[in-house]
Chains A and B, each alone.
Chain A
């Protein structure tokens, strides 16, 4: 057992140097606004030009075949440098792993390089008005037609869909089959004829997500991922990515914890030991998350349902970090700024990517081996 990070240190030095020279001095506008979305897309292009937008991907798709350790190190440096949020993350973290597992070579060649460069930004379209935690209740349909499929119905809570270019998600293609069967996983343009998108203001009013209405939207066969009718299996094969390390790497929490400690030393009353203890706890948990990440990449086997353990932990850690910062800021905690933007974002963590209640059910059944139950 060791924590020898030296194999990744040359890469760390390169990344640090590039970020030092390139991270914008002033923060970009919020990526949940039209102006900010465009600025973040331009930033993705700069990252891609340095081959730093998708470091863990194969070189042929725009990556540089970085090892998992190098990827963790990249993330540490990225967030420590205060670099912009990743507007392309839903494509990179959720669609790309699905394509790597189920996509055709043609799909990989067509989709991935333009995703890596920020030319095409992707939005996930899974939830529906009647299918949130109970995802298998989804009702939007894909009807077989000559050369492809016609999409009808509604998706909602689609993050980034207000400004993104394309979407992906499961649609019901066999109405006779029940729940988890008869679903087909598809990619579609958000500006296609028949798609109506209606941005939804999240709790601070910013249009961070959207609802999507489909009215006979044609999707060609080449945009089906995996086998038609096997959409549930295709979707579930990558939920581990969503709940696990790739969506929320330790780097972002380590950087936030370091900033929180600095804020404590700048502003806190040293006699306020209750607040000091919360700062300490947040730092300890961020460190635990980092070490757990090293443990995860050291293991040969797939983490599987253990990614649910991860999701509960990082989402609660993110909230604790930001709540503690707002408390430290006192009367300024409610004012617009980086900590408040992070706090509003962290409020959604226990809800998206499968609510923490669903994750606890997964942990209970698939990790602890408790009996399956009626909900």
Chain B
């Protein structure tokens, strides 16, 4: 039993951290939000070159996956750097396509996903009714019961997180149909929930990092505000929340393929959402007025934490799923 990332997994996370830090994600995110996706698409290809998307694609279709532990390691860094785009959706779509039991759509899209050439958005109602960044995506998939359809994007809806551009879907041609679609959609949802939870822990971690830094440098009453117990205790509570969300995410990743996977990803999403949102509230409070500005970069993570809190299933939905699983024993 060794319930920590191994050396290779740690190095993978550190390499992604370096890659994303050097890419200067805040500027990329702001461009993405303003409708200039080119820097974001370039970052997408860098992530693909680093192997991120291949982790979600089976070997038979040009990938190395599915590797859930490596995926959550990647999404932790993706959240920590607020990388833009339908990354969760593309990973969930890869799961969906890989499980359809229908070779044609899988053969069409999976190799491109693994290579970073295909950006996929996905609507998976009821929890995921809108297609994220559908105008940038190369294909939009919409699941409806036992059908997967190609879809067009309706008029964009503005999100609290300006980097999340949400589109109603206009269903088009049927790509696959039958009971296998329903099962594949459930697996895709669980995978999306898992990586979204990992992303939330990364978002929370970054918010804690920047807020600690601010509390050390910002002075009031002649001393760093980090000396004041009210501020310190807020930050300590944020750390406690994040420290106990991470093992739930890792535990859920290891449960992939088992009957407990749905229960465990829901537990992880609840804890990660609460921890990241608490981090956002504390980040805003400790930064004060400057944290409430669009221009100051912590707002990128503060807004994302709140948006992701209810994306891919609200906390109430996931708590209900946990309790339903426990009722079944």
Residues of A within 8 A of B (CB): 1-5, 7-8, 69, 261, 264-265, 273, 276-277, 279-281, 283-285, 287-289, 291-292, 294-295, 297-299, 306, 309, 312-313, 357, 359-361, 363-365, 367-375
Contacts and interface: CB of A to CB of B under 8 A. Distances in A.
Contact of B270 (A284, A363, A365, A374): A284
Interface string B254-276: 10000000000001001100000
Contacts of B271: 284-285, 288
B173 interface: no
Contacts of B251: 3, 287, 291
9 contacts: A3-B3, A276-B323, A283-B322, A292-B244, A361-B229, A363-B240, A370-B212, A370-B226, A373-B227
Nearest to B321: A280
A294 B236 contact: no
Contact of B247 (A294, A365, A371): A294
Contacts of A69: 1
Interface stretch (B4-12, B124-132, B143-151): B4-12
B6 A1 contact: yes
Nearest to A299: B4
B320 A363 contact: no
B69 interface: yes
Contacts of B326: 261, 283
B105 interface: no
Contact of A279 (B5, B216, B244, B323): B323
A365 B319 CA distance: 34
Contacts of B237: 312, 360
B236 A277 contact: no
Nearest to B3: A294
B236 A291 contact: no
B4 A364 contact: no
Contact of B239 (A4, A281, A367, A374): A367
B3 A369 contact: no
A8 B254 CA distance: 19
A19 to B, nearest CB: 21
Interface string B2-24: 11111001000000000000000
Size class of the B contact interface (CB-based, 8 Å): 35 or more
Contacts of A7: 1
A368 B244 contact: no
Given A361-B232, A370-B232, A291 B243 contact: no
A309 B323 contact: no
B226 A371 contact: yes
Nearest to A284: B267
Given A371-B216, A371-B226, A373-B227, A2 B254 contact: yes
Contacts, number: 146
A373 B216 CA distance: 12
B215 interface: yes
Nearest to B315: A277
A375 B227 CA distance: 9
A4 B235 contact: no
Given A288-B244, A371-B216, 11 more contacts: A1-B2, A1-B9, A297-B1, A312-B236, A364-B226, A364-B235, A368-B208, A368-B212, A370-B224, A371-B224, A374-B227
B34 interface: no
A363 B232 CA distance: 9
Contact of B248 (A264, A280, A284): A284
Nearest to A4: B1
B289 interface: no
A3 B247 CA distance: 11
A27 B207 CA distance: 48
Contacts of A265: 327
Contacts of A2: 1-3, 254
A365 B271 CA distance: 25
A276 B319 contact: yes
A273 B223 CA distance: 46
B174 interface: no
Given A1-B250, A277-B316, A295-B3, A375 B229 contact: yes
A283 B229 CA distance: 31
B245 interface: yes
Contacts of A313: 240, 243-244
A138 to B, nearest CB: 23
Given A277-B316, A291-B248, A294-B247, A3 B322 contact: no
Contacts of A3: 1, 3, 251, 254
Contacts of A285: 244, 271
Contacts of B9: 1
B247 A295 contact: yes
A1 B254 CA distance: 8
A295 B271 CA distance: 17
B157 interface: no
A298 B323 contact: no
A312 B235 contact: no
Contacts of B5: 1
B240 to A, nearest CB: 5
Contact of B322 (A280, A372, A374): A280
Contacts of A298: 1-4
A312 B236 CA distance: 10
B208 to A, nearest CB: 8
B189 to A, nearest CB: 19
